[in-house]
């Protein structure tokens, strides 16, 4: 069934769009390449391939920082192009459901609505959905009836830890940790231990390859520039060192999960105890994070099947299911 609506999960790394006309979710890198300060050179995945490789006159950047809009003009260009592509160059009017983090200011939330309004995409109605609620809906259709649900979404620059109950948010904390910190930790460790400079893409790939390398008991092979000789070289790095480098950031996530649990009303805690913790976001499967969370809290940890697409999947469920519409709101619902 086609619906004239789009659901948008604006992530710091990936923008996920649910297209109600086609009933499909697409994901693109939330990245733009601008030439000579004014010309759009590339966007999305094409811009990403140029990242860390472009000449000085082409600036490749992410318009979102720590989950909030940092560069509104470039974000508008991206939204317009992505939506235009989704509608094959013929933008028709549609409703927009945009997900936002909970633990940001109202001004920052309003900026997401203004973004959709001002991107020239013929937005009819603009609805706001808290990301954690979309996550919850995507993971458990009975979420609106359930009391006590803990969702941890580990993304790129952020991790959002939220307690949900009866379809609403009881507590939510957005921390500045995620895939980017894991990549940086790998880069720093390799520079320190091996005098080798590697790029962010190499670090990310190594991180993603870890489970496979560990399963086959192989070390990681990375390419980079030797700091001493200045020459490109290849090095073999034990996977154990890579895991260990990321642990400091796993600790930050675990500490914050514990903090939220300590503040959770006891009755909700009982429900969470029965259900466990839901781990989602693109970085959910990183290293032994799930085991460490489980060990430190005594709770079981479950993965959402959608991982990085979980918010967009939840948005698609909300768009298609009128029964869930009471959980969305508009900017007019704000007091200011």
With a CB cutoff of 8 Å and minimum separation 6, the contacts of 86 are 6, 17, 19, 21, 22, 26
> Rounded to an integer, what distance in angstroms lies between the CA atom of residue 56 and that of residue 68?
26
Stretch that binds ligand ATP, among 18-26, 73-81, 118-126, 277-285 (CB under 6 A): 277-285
Least Å from the CB of residue 312 to Mg ion? 9
Among 281, 294, 304, 313, binds ligand ATP (CB under 6 A): 281
48 phi, psi to nearest 5 deg: -60, -35
The answer to whether the beta carbons of residues 156 and 282 sit under 8 Å apart is: yes
Cβ-based neighbour number of residue 287 at 10 Å? 22
With a CB cutoff of 8 Å and minimum separation 6, the contacts of 24 are 18
Q: How many helices (H) and strands (E) does the chain have?
A: 10, 18
Asked if 11 is part of the footprint of Mg ion (rule: CB under 5 A), the reply reads yes
Q: Which residue is nearest to ligand ATP (CB)?
A: 179
Asked if 285 is part of the footprint of ligand ATP (rule: CB under 6 A), the reply reads yes
Closer residue to ligand ATP, CB minimum distance, 20 or 281 = 281
Among 7, 11, 20, 224, binds ligand ATP (CB under 6 A): 11
Least Å from the CB of residue 178 to ligand ATP? 5
Which 3 state secondary structure label does DSSP give 307? helix
Closer residue to Mg ion, CB minimum distance, 158 or 239 = 158
Distance from the Cα of residue 103 to its chain's centroid? 15
Sign of the dihedral through C-alpha 275, 276, 282, 288: negative
The answer to whether the beta carbons of residues 195 and 170 sit under 8 Å apart is: no
Asked if 67 is part of the footprint of ligand ATP (rule: CB under 6 A), the reply reads yes
Q: Which does 156 bind (CB under 5 to 8 A by kind): ligand ATP, Mg ion, none?
A: ligand ATP
Asked if 155 is part of the footprint of ligand ATP (rule: CB under 6 A), the reply reads yes
**203 to 232: interface string for ligand ATP, x by CB under 6 A:** -x--xx------------------------
**144 to 183: interface string for Mg ion, x by CB under 5 A:** -----------x----------------------------
Sheet holding 32-35, edge to edge: 39-43, 32-35, 58-61
Closer residue to ligand ATP, CB minimum distance, 20 or 67 = 67
Asked if 282 is part of the footprint of ligand ATP (rule: CB under 6 A), the reply reads yes
The radius of gyration computed from the CA coordinates of the chain, to the nearest angstrom, equals: 21
> Rounded to an integer, what distance in angstroms lies between the CA atom of residue 207 and that of residue 114?
36
> Contacts with ligand ATP: how many residues (CB under 6 A)?
21
Stretch that binds ligand ATP, among 118-126, 154-162, 220-228, 319-327 (CB under 6 A): 154-162
Asked if 14 is part of the footprint of ligand ATP (rule: CB under 6 A), the reply reads yes
Sign of the dihedral through C-alpha 178, 179, 181, 185: positive
Least Å from the CB of residue 175 to Mg ion? 13
Residues of this chain that interact with Mg ion (CB under 5 A) are 11, 155
Which residues sit at the interface with ligand ATP, rule CB under 6 A? 11-14, 67, 155-158, 178-180, 204, 207-208, 281-283, 285-286, 308
């Amino acid at each position: 069934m086609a619906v004239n609506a789009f659901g948008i999960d604006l992530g710091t790394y990936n923008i996920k769009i649910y297209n109600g006309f086609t009933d499909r979710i697409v994901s693109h890198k939330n990245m733009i390449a601008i030439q000579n300060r004014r010309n759009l050179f590339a966007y999305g995945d094409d811009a990403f391939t140029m990242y860390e490789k472009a000449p000085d006159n082409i600036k490749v950047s992410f318009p979102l920082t720590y989950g909030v809009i940092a560069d509104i003009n470039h974000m508008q260009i991206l939204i317009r192009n992505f939506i235009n592509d989704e509608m094959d160059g013929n933008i028709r009017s549609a409703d927009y459901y945009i997900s936002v983090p909970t633990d940001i200011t109202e001004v920052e939330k309003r900026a997401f609505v203004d973004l959709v309004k001002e991107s020239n995409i013929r937005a009819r109605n603009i609805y706001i959905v808290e990301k954690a609620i979309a996550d919850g809906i995507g993971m458990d259709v009975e979420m609106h009836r359930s009391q006590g649900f803990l969702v941890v979404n580990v993304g790129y620059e952020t991790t959002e830890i939220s307690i949900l109950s009866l379809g609403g948010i009881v507590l939510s904390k957005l921390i500045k940790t995620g895939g980017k910190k894991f990549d940086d930790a790998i880069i720093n460790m390799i520079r320190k231990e091996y005098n080798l400079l590697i790029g962010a893409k190499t670090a990310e790939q190594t991180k993603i390859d870890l489970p496979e390398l560990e399963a086959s008991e192989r070390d990681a092979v990375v390419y980079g520039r030797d700091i001493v000789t200045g020459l490109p070289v290849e090095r073999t790095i034990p996977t154990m060192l890579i895991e260990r480098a990321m642990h400091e950031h796993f600790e930050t996530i675990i500490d914050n999960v514990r903090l939220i649990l300590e503040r959770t009303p006891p009755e909700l805690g009982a429900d969470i105890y029965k259900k466990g913790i839901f781990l989602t976001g693109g970085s959910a499967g990183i290293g032994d994070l799930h085991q460490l969370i489980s060990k430190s809290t005594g709770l079981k940890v479950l993965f959402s099947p959608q991982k990085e697409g979980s918010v967009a999947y939840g948005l698609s469920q909300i768009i298609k299911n009128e029964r869930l519409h009471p959980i969305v709101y508009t900017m007019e619902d704000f007091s200011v």
